[in-house]
Amino acid sequence: MKKTEKEYEETIEVQEIQIEKLLVKQRKLKQKIAELKESPDINFHLIDSVRKILSVNAVLKEILANTETLNQAKFAELQRAIKRTFEIIKRAGEKNDDRKKIAEGGR
């Protein structure tokens, strides 16, 4: 069954409305992206940190395969830095656990 000219016009109108809605949504998303670039959410820093740590880990695997040839002072420095990073993460996890316990106890 062929569409009439009026049906085509109605279809075009509906599509134009949908396009306009999508354009508005696109403008809002672009605005939100611009806002995030100006003041990024702390979770973006977390995501970036995880990406960097994974990259470092890949390199460390290769380096640590030959520990006997490493500068021992630098190797000890690396161990201290990793220990410090672990302590920071552990403390943050403990604080989060404490917050959860307080929230659960406050119910």
Assess whether pLDDT exceeds 60 at residue 107.
no
Contact between residue 62 and residue 55 where contact means Cβ atoms under 8 Å apart: no
The two tokens of residue 105 are 């106890």
Question: How high is the pLDDT of residue 17?
Answer: 94
Highest averaged pLDDT of the listed ranges 20-24, 71-75, 100-104: 20-24
Residue 89 has pLDDT above 70, yes or no: yes
Residue 93 in any domain: the answer is: no
Cα torsion at 41, 96, 60, 76 (round to 10°)?
120
User: Does 33 reside within a domain?
Assistant: yes
Residue 84 pLDDT greater than 80, yes or no: yes
Q: Which domain holds residue 30?
A: 1-39
Site of tokens 């190797």: 75
Burial of residue 78, with CB atoms counted within 10 A of its CB: 0-12 exposed, 13-18 middle, 19 or more buried:
middle
pLDDT tens across 10-57, in order? 889 999 999 999 999 999 999 988 887 777 678 888 888 999 999 999
Residue 51 belongs to some domain of the structure: no
Assigned domain for 84 exists: no
The 10 Å Cβ neighbour count of residue 64 is 11
Asked whether residue 2 is domain-assigned, the answer is yes
More confident position, 62 or 36: 62
Does a structural domain hold residue 90?
no
| Phi–psi pair at 70, nearest 5 degrees | -80, 150
CA distance 75 to 64: 9
Q: Does residue 105 lie within any of the structural domains?
A: no
Query: What mean pLDDT is predicted for residues 45-74?
Result: 88
pLDDT at site 35: 81
Structural domain tally of the chain?
A: 1
